[in-house]
Chain A
Amino acid sequence: IAGITQAPTSQILAAGRRMTLRCTQDMRHNAMYWYRQDLGLGLRLIHYSNTAGTTGKGEVPDGYSVSRANTDDFPLTLASAVPSQTSVYFCASSVTLQGEAFFGQGTRLTVV
């Protein structure tokens, strides 16, 4: 692994199903983020974590949960997917919350 990796790269999901998007970084960055990007709305922060063991809510947290059990991993869970959660999801990490962020390649999620 080099940098930050997301999985899956794309997914079609039935409404009501549970889904976890995975994110792993090998840069030992303290801060990690989940964004969703929708046409005309830009990148919107869902949740963030400034260090292992802590998480915080971003601009659009409803319907999503995260955990940060260790430095490297920051999974995003949709407990019961709805069509409005159709989006491109980006995970990112940075040394600190203020610092330069590095992004994963994104996960394209379609909820039908």
Chain B
Amino acid sequence: RKEVEQDPGPFNVPEGATVAFNCTYSNSASQSFFWYRQDCRKEPKLLMSVYSSGNEDGRFTAQLNRASQYISLLIRDSKLSDSATYLCVGGRDDKIIFGKGTRLHILP
């Protein structure tokens, strides 16, 4: 089992809709969590960190459920520019582990 797993998608979502992704992690020692965004043929860029209490940044909300070992990302009022691959990341003492990513296509 991969240490960090995501649904690869693609998620095809109409503009303006709300979309949510989950990501599960298997190593309970993971201590830090992030969501990254990667556009086609570009490097991954940090979207947001994920805190135990949950956190929000504009249209984006991230949550962590330690009991069930998953993190989630919610995008409200989706825009065409949100089309990308979203990578979830779990970090522990010796390294950070990336999921394979979830592809999101926002449809006009």
Q: Do A and B bind each other?
A: yes
B33 to chain A: closest residue by CB: A98
Known: A42-B100, A42-B101, A43-B87. A97 touches B43 (CB 8 A): no
Chain B contact residues (Cβ within 8 angstroms of A): what range?
A: 20 to 34
- Bound-complex Cα distance A45 to B91 (A): 13
Known: A42-B98, A43-B98. A100 touches B46 (CB 8 A): yes
Which residues of the other chain, B, contact A42 by a CB distance below 8 angstroms?
87, 98-101
Question: Using a CB-CB cutoff of 8 Å, which residues 56-112 of chain A contact chain B?
Answer: 56, 58, 90, 94, 97-106
- Bound-complex Cα distance A102 to B92 (A): 17
- Bound-complex Cα distance A48 to B87 (A): 19
Chain A contact residues (Cβ within 8 angstroms of B): what range?
A: 20 to 34
- Bound-complex Cα distance A33 to B97 (A): 11
A44 to chain B: closest residue by CB: B98
Contact: B46 with A56, CB < 8 Å? no
Does A2 lie at the interface of the complex (its beta carbon under 8 Å from any beta carbon of B)? no
Question: Using a CB-CB cutoff of 8 Å, which residues 76-102 of chain B contact chain A?
Answer: 87, 89, 91-101
Does A41 lie at the interface of the complex (its beta carbon under 8 Å from any beta carbon of B)? yes
Contact: B100 with A41, CB < 8 Å? yes
Does B44 lie at the interface of the complex (its beta carbon under 8 Å from any beta carbon of A)? yes
A45 to chain B: closest residue by CB: B95
Does B72 lie at the interface of the complex (its beta carbon under 8 Å from any beta carbon of A)? no
Contact: A56 with B94, CB < 8 Å? yes
Which residues of the other chain, B, contact A58 by a CB distance below 8 angstroms?
95
Does B59 lie at the interface of the complex (its beta carbon under 8 Å from any beta carbon of A)? no
Does B61 lie at the interface of the complex (its beta carbon under 8 Å from any beta carbon of A)? no
- Bound-complex Cα distance A71 to B49 (A): 25
Q: Can you name 20 A-B pairs with beta carbons within 8 Å?
A: A35-B98, A40-B100, A42-B87, A42-B98, A42-B99, A43-B100, A90-B43, A94-B96, A97-B96, A98-B31, A98-B32, A98-B91, A98-B92, A99-B32, A99-B91, A99-B96, A100-B34, A100-B49, A101-B46, A103-B45
Q: Add 8 more A-B contacts to A48-B95, A90-B43, A101-B96 (CB < 8 A).
A: A42-B100, A43-B87, A97-B95, A98-B32, A98-B93, A100-B34, A100-B46, A105-B43
